[in-house]
């Protein structure tokens, strides 16, 4: 998007607006990671379900709901995003409603603690609702970032914000064993989840404070059915986007299996709440370093590099976990898969700025998330019963294989298709 000198004013608002929105996105990075350290599908939630004697299949359902509910919601939120005039205001209100509903469940946990079987299913229901609303995240956030922030300011400062947020998250994870060990069940989890939600409420308010200008190239309004009908044509007509979807499918499958690393630690190495807290701490510290390093790297080199790094981290993590004979070695595999996850989050958002045509980013985001999340959901659900019979070796073989497949698609298909797209754009511009 390197065109005229006035592009920053024309496309992203005034210099004052850009600065304000950069600060708010910085604060978005500060407030979000601490919440995810406390309401974590990777650590705290599997431990919560283990305390309720949940089965492997129920843990798998919880992990799958993150994906299934997310992709089910894509057409609805994608349609809303194409029709709303002020993305930031609509997004902020959606986030506030999400937090209020889940807080109501959290505060009701003590009422159902005497019936663990019922509490498990109540949790799964409200966790599903929570993740339906979470499906709005990329559909709104990616177009907002592309609209409000210049290309050279989309990752670096946000990365610093996320690094600070992850540092705060380290402090939050240090509280996990203290709260779990020092306060009786279920009030310990009520406190942990409520503390996480307090950060999420602050996060939602930030979007309501953003300054958003009129679209230079308006989004194409689409109803829900029209959005769904547009998916096949969108994929069929765009070879670069098609290659990106295939690459992201493999990478997201691997990253979606992170909760099973925690389950592996608990069931094979008998990890306690203190060791689960170590996993949570390692996750947030890794994300802190990852967001700083990868954020500025993307600003300098472009988002494609994140996709390549993601695949390498996933491959090495799967290989290391396959031969892990101690919790210490598993820690190393855990750090690597989280580095891959950090890279993937940037791949799946910022890379769409290079791929999606003007005005169609909500559709492209929705299509990408719908297809990749659907695929990952199927794999996670099918894997749960297999783990009971085959063991965790299969888990890490899938992680390794998906990383390798994602790397091959990236190097030999996606990059070539994207290069052809750039050549065509240059030719069309020069005509």
Domain of 100, CATH number, reads 1.20.1250.20
Q: What is the pLDDT of residues 321-338, one digit of tens each?
A: 999 889 999 999 999 999
In a domain, 125, yes or no: yes
Share of the chain above pLDDT 90, in %: 31
In a domain, 254, yes or no: yes
In a domain, 18, yes or no: yes
In a domain, 269, yes or no: yes
Instruction: Supply the range of the domain harboring residue 378.
Output: 7-430
130 CB-side CA count, 13 A: 26
Q: Which residues contact 80 (CB under 8 A, 6 or more apart)?
A: 90, 136
Long-range contacts of 386-395 (CB under 8 A, 24+ apart): 387/56, 387/260, 388/56, 392/260, 392/264, 392/268, 393/322, 395/257, 395/260, 395/264, 395/321
In a domain, 2, yes or no: no
Q: Quick count: other Cβ atoms within 10 Å of Cβ 371?
A: 20
Look over the chain and give the mean of its residue pLDDT values, rounded to a whole number.
83
Residue 18 has pLDDT above 80, yes or no: yes
In a domain, 223, yes or no: yes
In a domain, 1, yes or no: no
Cα 343 from Cα 415, distance rounded (Å)? 17
8 or 364: which carries more pLDDT confidence? 364
207 or 219: which carries more pLDDT confidence? 207
* Number of domains into which the chain is organized: 1
Closest CA to 407 of 285, 278, 310, 325: 310
The pLDDT confidence band at residue 198, using thresholds 50, 70 and 90, is very high
Among 167-181, 288-302, 338-352, top mean pLDDT goes to: 167-181
Q: What is the pLDDT of residues 49-79, one digit of tens each?
A: 989 998 888 888 888 888 778 777 777 887 7
């Amino acid at each position: 998007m390197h065109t005229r000198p006035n592009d920053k004013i024309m496309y992203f608002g005034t210099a004052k607006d850009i600065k304000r929105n950069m600060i708010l996105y910085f604060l978005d990075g500060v407030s979000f990671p601490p919440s995810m350290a406390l309401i974590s599908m990777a650590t705290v939630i599997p431990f919560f379900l283990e305390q309720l004697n949940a089965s492997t299949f129920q843990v798998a359902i919880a992990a799958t709901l993150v994906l299934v509910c997310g992709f089910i919601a894509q057409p609805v939120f994608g349609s809303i995003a194409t029709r709303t005039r002020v993305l930031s205001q609509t997004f902020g209100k959606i986030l506030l409603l999400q937090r209020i509903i889940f807080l109501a469940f959290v505060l009701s946990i003590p009422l159902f603690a005497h019936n663990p079987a019922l509490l498990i299913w109540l949790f799964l229901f409200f966790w599903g609702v929570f993740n339906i609303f979470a499906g709005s995240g990329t559909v709104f956030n990616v177009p907002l970032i592309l609209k409000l922030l210049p290309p050279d300011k989309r990752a670096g400062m946000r990365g610093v914000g996320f690094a600070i947020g992850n540092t705060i998250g380290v402090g939050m994870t240090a509280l996990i064993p203290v709260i779990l060990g020092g306060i009786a069940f279920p009030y310990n989890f009520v406190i942990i989840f409520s503390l996480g939600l307090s950060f999420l409420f602050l996060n939602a308010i930030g979007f309501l404070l953003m300054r958003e200008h009129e679209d230079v190239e308006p989004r194409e309004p689409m109803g829900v059915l029209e959005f769904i009908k547009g998916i096949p044509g969108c994929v069929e007509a765009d070879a670069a986007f098609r290659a990106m979807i295939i690459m992201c499918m493999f990478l997201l499958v691997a990253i979606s299996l992170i909760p099973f690393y925690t389950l592996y630690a608990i069931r094979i190495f008998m990890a306690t709440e203190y060791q689960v807290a170590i996993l949570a701490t390692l996750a947030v510290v890794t994300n802190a370093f990852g967001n700083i390093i990868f954020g500025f790297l993307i600003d300098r080199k472009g988002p494609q590099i994140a996709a390549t790094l993601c695949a390498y981290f996933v491959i090495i993590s799967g290989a290391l976990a396959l031969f892990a004979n101690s919790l210490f070695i598993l820690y190393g595999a855990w750090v690597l898969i989280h580095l891959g996850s950090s890279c993937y989050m940037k791949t799946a958002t910022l890379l769409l700025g290079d791929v999606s045509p003007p005005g169609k980013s909500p559709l492209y985001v929705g299509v990408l998330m719908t297809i990749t999340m659907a695929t990952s959901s199927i794999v996670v659900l099918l894997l749960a019963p297999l783990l009971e019979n085959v063991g965790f070796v299969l888990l890490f073989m899938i992680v390794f294989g998906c990383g390798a497949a994602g790397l091959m698609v990236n190097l030999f298909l996606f990059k070539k298709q994207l290069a052809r797209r750039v050549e065509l754009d240059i030719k069309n511009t020069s005509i």
